[in-house]
């Protein structure tokens, strides 16, 4: 009786693939975009969670709320604000790209150019914001 499946001995020698050691998947920019989208989403979620909690403090203890708000005015917190801005901007732009890939018939064809557009828009908006926010932080730390 003949078998419809080929055995390993019948497989051609060139069909064997060599897997790179130390990596599960050697992805391209799309994979890193996927990872960054998940990370920025989680970071944004935790920011919103903390924001709801610290805002709720005003009903529990106005003094505790004032103390928390004072810590947010520290110049080092500007770095966290900058990180939050970077995460939210990337997540928003990449989310639009993901929706276009999912719902636009030509989306998969243009997903790589759209990713480069997302990164370019993110950079164009982040550079002036970073300069402005870091200038403010340095001015507050050193006076001016």
Whether 100 is in a domain gets the answer yes
Q: What do you get for the CA distance between the two ends of the chain, in Å?
A: 89
Q: With CA atoms as reference, report the closest residue to 97 among 34, 5, 55, 139.
A: 34
Q: What is the pLDDT along the chain (144 residues), one digit of tens a residue?
A: 555 555 555 555 555 555 556 666 667 888 889 999 999 999 999 999 999 998 998 899 999 999 999 998 888 899 999 999 999 999 999 999 999 999 999 988 999 999 999 999 999 999 999 999 999 989 988 886
Domain around 102? 29-143
* Token pair belonging to 53: 């909690």
For residue 122, is it within any domain? yes
Domain assignment present for 10? no
pTM for this model (two decimals): 0.76
Cα maximum dimension of the chain: 89
d(CA 96, CA 90): 10
**Residue 22 belongs to some domain of the structure:** no
Q: Which letter does DSSP use for residue 39 in this model? A: H
Q: How far apart are CA 38 and CA 44, in angstroms?
A: 10
Residue 35 resides in a domain: yes
What is the number of structural domains in the chain?
1
Residue 143 has what pLDDT?
A: 83
- The confidence score (pLDDT) of residue 40 equals 97
Q: The domain that contains 111 carries what CATH number?
A: 1.20.1300.10
Given this model, what pLDDT does residue 101 score?
92
The number of residues in the chain equals 144
Would you call 24 exposed, middle or buried from its count of C-beta atoms within 10 A (0-12, 13-18, 19+)? exposed
Does some domain include residue 82? yes
Give domain status of residue 7, yes or no: no
Per the CB < 8 A criterion, the answer to whether 137 and 82 are in contact is no
What's the confidence (pLDDT) of residue 17? 59
Query: Could you tell me if residue 76 is inside a domain?
Result: yes
């Amino acid at each position: 009786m003949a078998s419809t499946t080929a055995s390993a001995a019948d497989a051609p020698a060139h069909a064997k693939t060599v897997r790179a050691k130390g990596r599960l998947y050697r992805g391209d920019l799309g994979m890193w975009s996927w990872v960054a989208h998940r990370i920025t989403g989680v970071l944004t979620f935790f920011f919103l969670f903390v924001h709801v909690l610290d805002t709720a403090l005003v009903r529990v203890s106005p003094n505790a709320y004032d103390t928390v708000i004072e810590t947010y005015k520290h110049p080092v917190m500007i770095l966290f604000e900058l990180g939050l801005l970077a995460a939210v901007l990337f997540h928003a732009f990449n989310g639009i790209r993901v929706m276009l890939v999912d719902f636009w018939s030509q989306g998969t064809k243009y997903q790589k150019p759209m990713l480069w557009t997302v990164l370019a828009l993110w950079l164009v908006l982040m550079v002036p914001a970073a300069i402005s926010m870091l200038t403010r932080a340095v001015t507050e730390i050193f006076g001016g």
